[in-house]
A and B are shown apart, each in its own frame.
Chain A
Amino acid sequence: MKSSPHLLKGFPLGAVLVLSACATISTQAQSEYTRAQTEVQQLQTDPLANQAAGKPLQQARDALSRAADAIQHHNTADVMHWSYLAARRAEIGEAMVAELRARNQVASATAERVRILLDSQRRRTEVAQQQARQAEQHAQDASQQLQQERQQNQTQQAQQQIQQAQQQEQQAQQQEQQAKQQLEELQARETARGMVLTLSGSLLFATGRDTVQPGAIQSLDNVARFMQQHPMMKIRVQGFTDSRGSDELNDALSQRRAQAVSNALQSSGVDPSRLQAIGRGKSLPVASNDTAAGRQQNRRVELLFSDTAGEFASNQSGQQFQ
Chain B
Amino acid sequence: MRKQIHLMAVPVAVLLAGGCASTPPPVGELSSAHALVSQAEQSDAPRYDSADLTSAQNKLQQADDNAKEHPSLSARLAQQAAVDAELALARTRAHKEQDALQQVDASLAALRSETEQPPAGAVAPNAVPPGGAQP
Contact = CB atoms under 8 A, between A and B. Distances in A.
Interface of A: 26, 28, 32, 56, 75-77, 80-81, 84-85, 88-89, 91-92, 95-96, 98-99, 102-103, 105-106, 109-110, 112-113, 116-117, 119-120, 122-124, 126-127, 130-131, 134
* Secondary structure class of chain B's binding surface, majority of residues: helix
Contacts of B128: 127, 130-131, 134
Interface residues of B, number: 39
Interface stretch (B26-34, B61-69, B114-122): B114-122
Interface in B3-32: 5-6, 8-9, 12-13, 16-17
Contacts of B97: 98-99, 102-103, 106
A109 B111 contact: no
Interface in B35-85: 76, 79-80, 83-84
B135 to A, nearest CB: 7
B64 to A, nearest CB: 18
Nearest to A80: B9
B94 A96 contact: yes
Interface of B: 5-6, 8-9, 12-13, 16-17, 76, 79-80, 83-84, 86-87, 90-91, 93-94, 97-98, 100-101, 104-105, 107-108, 111-112, 115, 118-119, 122-123, 126, 128, 132-133, 135
B87 A120 contact: no
* Secondary structure class of chain A's binding surface, majority of residues: helix
Contacts of A120: 115, 118-119
B126 A106 contact: no
B94 to A, nearest CB: 4
A116 B84 contact: no
A288 to B, nearest CB: 99
B109 to A, nearest CB: 10
Contact of A84 (B6, B17, B108, B132): B6
A131 B126 CA distance: 8
Nearest to B127: A134
Given A85-B79, A95-B93, A109-B105, A116 B115 contact: yes
A109 B103 CA distance: 10
B12 A80 contact: yes
Given A113-B111, A120-B118, A127 B16 contact: no
A81 B76 contact: yes
A113 B107 contact: yes
Contacts of A124: 122
B18 to A, nearest CB: 11
Contacts of A80: 9, 12-13
B104 A127 contact: no
A81 B16 CA distance: 12
Ranked 8 nearest A-B pairs via Cβ? A95-B90, A102-B97, A77-B16, A99-B94, A120-B115, A98-B94, A88-B83, A109-B104
Given A76-B16, A130-B128, A85 B90 contact: no
Nearest to B112: A116
Contacts of B126: 127, 131
B104 A113 contact: yes
A122 B135 contact: yes
B101 A109 contact: yes
A32 B4 CA distance: 13
